[in-house]
Amino acid sequence: MSIQPIPETVPAPTAVLRPKRGRSRAPSGRPMWLMWPSILLLVVIIGIPLLIAVYISFLHLDQYTLRSWLQAPWVGLSNYVTALTAGNVIGASALVSLGVSLGFSLLTTLLITPIGTLAALTVNTPYRGRTFVRVLYLVPYVIPTFVTALIWRMMFLNGTGLVDRSLAAIHVANINTYWLLGPNSFWAMVIADTWASWAFIYIMVLAGLQSISSDQYEAANMDGANSWQKLTRIVLPQLRHVLGLALLLSTLYHFNNFTLPFVMFGTPPPLQADVLPLNIYVSSFQLFNFGLGGAMSVITLILMLVPGFLYIRTLRLGEVTAS
Amino acid sequence: MKVNSRCARLWLPLLMLLSLVLAACGGGSSSSQGQTLHVLVGYNSTYSAQQKQWMQQITSEFQKATGATIAWDTFSSSSEEQTKLQTSVVSGSGPDVFSFGTTFVPTAQSTKGFTTLTDQDWKLVGGKDRFFKQQLTMAGSSPNQLIAVPFVMRPFAMVYNKELFQKAGITTPPTTWTQFVQDAQKMTDPSAGVHGAEIDPSDSFDPWKIWWMFAEQLGGSFISQDLKTAQMNSPEAVQAIKFWFDWATTYKIVDPNSMAWKAGDATQAFANSKVGMLIMVTPTLTPTLQKSAVAGKYAFAPMPTIPYGMQQRPAGGVPAATIVSGDMLAVADYSNVKDLAFKFINLVTDEQHQIQWTKTFGDLPVNVQAANSLASKDPQTAAFIQAEQGATPTPFTGVWGPLEVALAGVSSKLANEVATNRYDPSHIKPLLDQANQQIQGQLH
């Protein structure tokens, strides 16, 4: 008995309709000009600050020139060179921080994906107490990040924290193992973030699972499929898109996570936990080197455009809107 | 009709946007016009209820005296304080009166965002004679370029456990760092979890204050006299930092597992009777200790001023035991209620309110008469006031704020090494070289 995988549905090619020149009216007759307030607000809230950030990245902007920042000396690409080579005085260079951020975001995403998926599968079919379990699963996700970070900070304290006490009790590690300093700080950050964010994958996957028609399960049952076959031939293929989107969003979210390392380690953080957002913050707002911070931000933006582009492609935003 | 429709399409979104912008800006502009003084102060987590009460009282008295009201804003961390200050300076709007620590005044002045007080302004705040002269050394870059008015002071000292002293047969607090180490070794009993001293290398502020003190006593300085050269990598600075980490690595007088500690962790250990001497503390610690296991068993003393291994300070050494420390009030340059701001400062720094503040919050008064009045009744207060009068000001340069952060970074990296058994004293100099180079780049 074999179950054929359900062919992936390929959206029919849609004709791209070119807007008519002149009047800003969509082919469907919708008054597109009503979007102007939103567009103007986006320009004010996102566009102008973005341009200012790019401009600042070329300036020697510090506490002396902050007030009249438009007159700050132009230094060309030197902030970018500093960002990629020296970094700020207390932390790592942007490249090192980039490595930390990438490792942190990819590893966390990698860890939360199976956890979230398995959790979603456990509450997909009805049973007594399912609602309670669903609510329980959401607890880590709804706790504010700074509270999560504080709790984990206390748990990771060397000697007195729950982690060290537990590991020492089962003779796995010394009771004075440092988690908030040194190489372990990276793992402490990953563990805390995994605990806090696996529910995001759970929510996304559960939504995907709920959209799978029960007819397909019934048909599989009639064909004598076992649970594993249903999972691999029905569920996972249909979750591919939603899971892909969840992975992208998760990676982006973890890459930009500032609160967790900021609260867990404070400033200056250990080098191994000096993620890019924290490095930018310290450079700009504590060392008053706004030019350097601006350069690091622009570098981050360029890097984030890559998964951002993938995200848009995954959603096929343009095509859906056009159709 | 067609023209009207087109106009509507163009103007409607613009009007909507304009109304949103006006609505967003409305809150800020009306407050100053309505004779409201905006004041930004640090949130006091130890005395939050008392602080709220104090704010209400001051608002009420201020309203009676001027007819104007006060809108209070608070910050709970130095990061938040800096962000608010930077945002206000750039945008030209925000609080009228800022409260910040003495060592942040140089950085604040370098932003050119605060009012330089004229003689007339000083009269409005009660006159320069009202305040301790030592405090005024940190109020501006020169006597005629003062931007801040002293508000409260917090001289630094050390606190020791009298019971542990007695047990170890120590009769008086140490006056040299050699004695300090010897006394600490006598009190250290690792099996009981008791250590003679403590360090907190992951704190953002304590390390630089302690290193600064050691370096000054050795005759060094982090910044040259003319404020043009960074000297954070001088032999004195290296020696100062090495001596501090020697407490953990060589003399074994501190908890070896304290590398991730911040000031609060060290205080907690002292409050639990696990520490003999805790340095670089202020009298504001008293309420915490009074509620702890060491209540009634502790005393304050000045910190030693003779470097380790020496009988006297070397040439050029300064008996630095405390920085000029405390909080100052500064008026934003963009404020259009400066007269009100000065009246507010006058109110909170007068004798009566200063005494009340000290009795409530533990900080010492900057008002000379208030300080004398309190000192005549309490010898501990008198000792702290005497310490403040001999305080050494930190160099008045706009890079002092970044310098503090840079040294916190060096401390964090060294603590990292100690924690992972990779510490080598020879690593201190390269780290200081890097910090020094970058701070030098910011010096004007």
Q: What is the pLDDT of residues A66-96, one digit of tens each?
A: 888 888 999 999 999 988 887 665 666 788 8
The alpha-carbon gap from B420 to the nearest alpha carbon of chain A, in Å, equals 6
B412 CB neighbours in chain A (<8 A) are 90, 181, 268-270
Nearest to B441 by CA among A96, A283, A58, A60: A60
| Number of folded domains that form chain B | 2
Q: Which domains are assigned to chain A?
A: 32-322 (1.10.3720.10)
- Alpha carbon distance B395, B320 (integer Å): 13
Predicted local distance difference test score (pLDDT) of residue A317: 56
Give dist(CA B354, CA A117) in Å, integer: 62
Locate all alpha helices (DSSP H) within chain A, ordered by sequence: 36-42, 48-56, 78-85, 94-122, 130-142, 145-155, 162-169, 184-210, 214-222, 227-230, 236-255, 259-265, 276-281, 290-315, 317-322
A287 chain-B contacts, CB cut-off 8 A? 402, 405-406
Give, as one character, the DSSP assignment of residue A29: -
Q: Do A182 and B438 touch (CB under 8 A)?
A: no
pLDDT in tens, A184-200: 999 999 999 999 999 99
Mark out chain A residues that contact chain B at CB-CB < 8 A. 33-34, 36-37, 40-41, 44, 62-64, 66-67, 69, 86, 88-91, 157-159, 176, 178, 180-183, 266-271, 282, 285-289
Return all residues near B436 (Cβ < 8 A) that are at least 6 apart.
Answer: B230, B231, B232, B233
Q: Does residue B27 lie within any of the structural domains?
A: no
**Residue B45, H or E segment:** none
3-class secondary-structure state, position B326: strand
Average pLDDT, stretch A8-35? 58
Decide if A63 and B110 are in contact by the 8 Å CB cutoff.
yes
Mean pLDDT over all residues of chain B?
Answer: 89
**Residue B169, C-beta contacts closer than 8 angstroms, at least 6 positions apart:** B186
Q: Which amino acid would we find at residue A247?
A: L
Looking at the domain assignment, is residue B100 inside a domain? yes
Residue B39 has pLDDT above 60, yes or no: yes
- CB pair distance less than 8 Å for B402 and A286: yes
Tokens describing residue A267: 């400033």
B248 and B309 in a common domain: yes
Instruction: Indicate the residue among B389, B405, B423 that finishes a domain.
Output: B389
Question: Do B344 and B314 share a structural domain?
Answer: no
Question: Is B29 part of a structural domain of the chain?
Answer: no
Contact B206, B280 (CB under 8 A): yes
**What's the confidence (pLDDT) of residue A242?**
87
Alpha-carbon distance A321 to B297, whole Å? 74
pLDDT digits (tens, 9 = 90+) for B302-317: 899 999 999 999 999 9
Residue B133 predicted with pLDDT over 50: yes
CATH of residue B420's domain is 3.40.190.10
Q: What is the pLDDT of residue B95?
A: 96
pLDDT of residue A318 exceeding 80: no
Is residue B122 included in any domain, yes or no? yes
Task: Grade residue A6 by pLDDT with cuts at 50, 70 and 90.
Answer: very low
Are B210 and B131 in a shared domain?
A: no
Contact B307, B314 (CB under 8 A): yes
- The verdict on residue B5 lying in a domain is no
Tokens found for residue B15: 């009007």
- Select from B90, B402, B419 the Cβ nearest to the Cβ of A66: B90
B109 and B126 in a single domain? The answer is yes
Residues of B in contact with A269 (CB under 8 A): 412
Name chain A contacts of B399, Cβ cutoff 8 Å. 63
Q: Is the pLDDT of residue B98 over 90?
A: yes
Taking the C-alpha atoms of residue B294 and residue B281, their distance in angstroms, rounded to an integer, is: 15
B59 lies in the same domain as B172: no
Whether residue B220 sits in one domain with residue B110: no
Contacts 24+ apart (CB under 8 A), A226-231: A229/A3, A230/A3, A231/A121
Whether residues B141 and B254 fall in one domain: no
* Residue B18 contacts A where some CB pair is shorter than 8 Å: no
Select from A85, A288, A289, A290 the residue whose CB has the most chain B CBs within 10 Å, as the one to mutate to test that interface: A288
Same domain, B381 and B408: no
Kindly determine whether residue A37 and residue B202, on different chains, have CB atoms separated by under 8 Å: no
Residue B231 within a domain: yes
Q: Do A158 and B16 touch (CB under 8 A)?
A: no
Residue A219 pLDDT greater than 50, yes or no = yes
- A288 CB neighbours in chain B (<8 A) are 107, 401-402, 442
What mean pLDDT is predicted for residues B243-271? 94
Which residues on A lie below 8 Å from B14 (Cβ)? Answer: 40
Compute the average pLDDT of residues B190-196. 95
> Quick one: B315 and B332 in the same domain?
no
Q: How confident is the model at residue A28 (pLDDT cuts 50, 70, 90)?
A: low
State residue A9's pLDDT score.
46
Same domain, B42 and B78: yes
- Give the residue-averaged pLDDT of B312-334: 93
- Give the residue on A whose Cα is nearest the Cα of B408: A268
Mean pLDDT of chain A: 85
pLDDT at B261 over 80: yes
Q: What is the ipTM of this complex?
A: 0.79
Among A121, A158, A155, smallest CA distance to A137 is for A121
Same domain, B362 and B422: no
Reading the block at residue A196, the tokens are 């806090």
Structure tokens at B193: 């979890």
Of B17, B83, B402, the CB nearest to A41: B17
Q: Does B10 fall in a domain? A: no
Residue B273 domain flag? yes
Domain containing residue B260? 157-322+395-442
State whether B248 and B264 are in the same domain: yes
In terms of pLDDT, which residue wins out, B117 or A316?
B117
Question: Could you tell me the CA-to-CA distances from A293 to A88, A94, A279 in Å, in that order?
Answer: 9, 10, 8
Give one word for B421, left, alpha or beta, with left for phi > 0 and alpha for psi -120 to 50: left
- Dump pLDDT digits (tens) for A128-170: 999 999 999 999 999 999 999 999 999 999 888 999 999 999 9
CA gap B67, B59 in Å, rounded: 10
Find the Cα–Cα–Cα–Cα dihedral A273, B83, A51, A56, rounded to 10°: -80
Q: What is the model's pLDDT at position A166?
A: 95
